[in-house]
Amino acid sequence: MGGEVVDSVVSGGSSSEGEVPLDESFASQVPTLFRDGLSRKVGSKTVKEDDVLGLGDFEGEDGVFSSALESEVNLRRRSSTHREVLGSYDDSRVHIESLGHAKSKILSYYPGAWIEEVGGTKSFDYKVPQTTSLILIGPRGSGKSSLVNRISKLLDDDKFASERAQVSYNSSAGDGTYFLQEYMIPRGSTSFCLYDTRSLSTDPSEDSKIIKRWMTKGVRHGELVIRESDDWSLRKRMRCKARWSCHPSSVIRRVNFVIFVVNSITVLTSMDNNHDGQSQYMQLIADTYNCPYLSFKDDKPAVVVTHGDLLSVPDRARVRVYLGELFGIPPAKQIFDIPDNSNLVTQNTIVDMLRYSLEHADRNLPRKTWVSKRVWRVQVSACVYLALIVGIAIIAACMKRTHRVPKSKIHIDWPKIRHMWLE
């Protein structure tokens, strides 16, 4: 989701904003110290532009300068990131030909297609699954099921196809997704699949247990997800539903990569309100996203923000920048804004997100057991051969030495001792 750097963007949201200056959303965050001309006052001294950029050797009173410099650097970094994110909404950068080529790359994908042969390994050294599994994880109302439908329609290239995943119109009244649902993308293919999951609870420790089970033991279609905090009536209702459905699939799939889904409207509301309920929501998604079981070595999950079509472009950019700082990931490259529309920018973003996820899934495939032991076995074999050679050499040397020593012979000089037996 990179893009050309622009100074202003025409809003693509539901409200028409016209041209929006780049720094408008940051105006309230810029200290007066950094808005007043080429020279800046710090304490009782004047600092030139080069000093603020770190080229001078000025030291302010009581460490004021170091704090000001840090604020300036952070401000410029955020401003640069904001420009890059805003540039990703420029639909002029998306061309139908390039979009078609990118879609064909996804449609021609097969598990292991993007394995990177590094460290002396080859493609056959990895455990390549029959189907690459991407799992969607997110809070209630984040739009996981809607995302499945949007991806499926794009790659099936059928605008009139019925929606595959059940979407809750009112998340507070509906049951949501309680059974793990597997969706092959595209239909009829076995290349990769999306797993729609039950929404997160309000207890990160409880979510961590379920996530650990999915990531270590795998997932299977139709499995009922019950939490310890579920009350008796809910458990009874869910088990009643399970009774009339088929048994869970016997195929257990290893999770190859994670897509973390959040609602941009809820995030924006949390950013603008600091009361306890909203703070708890941000803490929930931060704790869950940083769960170590969701990451593959250093690779953190991709993030998808939904429902952005109800916000202005500047607000959508603010959400991505904020989440980037909260999760510690680049917002223009690892956070994908997929609203509920089908314009070229949205289609391009979906393809970019899938390409990113599948590439990282292939990059982190586990190695075969014999590969991990191959080096160890070679070292052990070399030691055994060396010991054998040394042993043979020692035995040969001993045998050679034995042959060189003649047997001792007793020589008797009979003439000299003749007098002994004549007496």
For 45-82, write each residue's pLDDT tens digit: 444 444 443 434 444 555 666 778 888 888 888 889 98
The 3-class SS string of 50-67 reads HHHCCCCCCCCHHHHHHH
pLDDT confidence band for 234 (50 / 70 / 90): confident
List, in order of start, the domains of the chain with CATH numbers: 8-87 (no CATH), 95-369 (3.40.50.300)
% residues pLDDT > 70 (the chain): 72
pLDDT band for position 30 (cuts 50, 70, 90): very low
- Distance between CA 198 and CA 142 in Å, rounded? 11
7 confidence band (pLDDT: 50, 70, 90)? very low
Residue 43, pLDDT score: 45
Q: How many CB atoms lie within 10 A of CB 83?
A: 19
41 pLDDT above the threshold of 80: no
pLDDT of 325: 93
Backbone torsions φ then ψ of 303, nearest 5 degrees: -120, 135
Pairwise pLDDT comparison (409 vs 355), residue with the higher score: 355
pLDDT for position 244: 64
Mean pLDDT of 192-210: 93
When pLDDT is averaged across residues 220-231 and rounded to a whole number, the result is: 89
The pLDDT, as a whole number, for residue 118 is: 83
Q: What is the pLDDT averaged over residues 343-363?
A: 96
**Tokens representing 79?**
């401003």
Confidence band for 279, pLDDT divided at 50, 70 and 90: confident
Judge contact between 26 and 79, C-beta under 8 A: yes
If one compares 347 and 15, the residue with the highest pLDDT of the two is 347
pLDDT (0 to 100) of residue 92: 81
Higher pLDDT: 238 or 29? It is 238
Both tokens of 302, joined, read 């991709």
- Closest by CA to 176, choosing from 230, 131, 220, is 230
Computed over every residue of the chain, the mean pLDDT equals 79
- The region of weakest confidence among 227-231, 268-272, 387-391 is 387-391
Residue 171 to residue 183: CA distance in whole angstroms: 21
Rg (CA), the chain: 34
As given in the structure block, the two tokens for residue 420 are 């002994």
Mean pLDDT value of segment 73-102: 88
Q: How far apart are CA 30 and CA 372, in angstroms?
A: 53
pLDDT band at 174 (very low <50, low <70, confident <90, very high): low
pLDDT band, very low/low/confident/very high, at 253 (cuts 50, 70, 90)? very high
Gap between the Cα atoms of 31 and 218, Å rounded: 50
**Where is pLDDT greater, at 246 or 40?**
246
Confidence of residue 345 (pLDDT cuts 50, 70, 90): very high
Identify any residues that bridge with 331 across adjacent strands, giving them in sequence order: none
Average pLDDT over residues 202-224: 93
Mean per-residue pLDDT, 152-157 = 91
Amino acid identity for residue 244 in this structure? W
Cα–Cα nearest to 14, from 393, 245, 313, 367? 313
Reference 202, options 257, 114, 314, 280; nearest CA is 280
CA distances from 197 to 4, 29, 387, 403 (A): 35, 38, 56, 81
Cα gap 285→219, rounded to integer Å: 22
Which residue is associated with the tokens 């043979």? Answer: 392
pLDDT in the model for residue 28: 47
**Coil/strand/helix, residue 335:** strand
Of the ranges 56-65, 118-127, 161-170, 391-400, which one carries the lowest mean pLDDT score?
A: 56-65
312-339 burial, b at 16+ Cβ within 10 Å, e below that, comes to bbbbbbbbbbbbbebbebebbbbbbbbb
3-state helix/strand/coil string of 102-157: HHHHHHCCCCCCCCCCCCCCCHHHECCCCCEEEEEECCCCCCHHHHHHHHHHHHHC
Pairing of strands 132-137, 257-263: parallel
49's CB contacts (< 8 A; 6+ apart) are 38, 39, 40
In this predicted structure, the answer to whether residue 98 has a pLDDT above a threshold of 70 is: yes
Count of H-run helices and E-run strands, the chain: 13, 10
**How far, in Å, CA of 351 to CA of 108, rounded?**
13
Q: Map tokens 């009350």 to a residue.
A: 231
Question: Would you state the pLDDT for residue 394?
Answer: 84
User: pTM score, two decimals?
Assistant: 0.73
274 has a pLDDT exceeding 80: no
Please give the pLDDT value at position 96: 87
> How far is the CA of 97 from the CAs of 101, 214, 409, in angstroms?
6, 39, 102
pLDDT, residue 2, reads 44
Q: Per-residue confidence at 422, pLDDT binned at 50, 70, 90? A: low
64/206: higher pLDDT: 206
User: Which residues on adjacent β-strands are paired with residue 65?
Assistant: none
Please enumerate in sequence order all residues whose Cβ is within 8 A of that of 258, keeping only pairs 6 or more positions apart, or say none: 134, 135, 137, 294, 301, 302
Check if the beta carbon of residue 281 is closer than 8 Å to that of residue 266. yes
SS3 content of the chain, % helix, strand, coil (to 5): 50, 10, 40
Q: Which alpha helices (H) appear in 246-295, and where do they start and end?
A: 264-272, 276-289
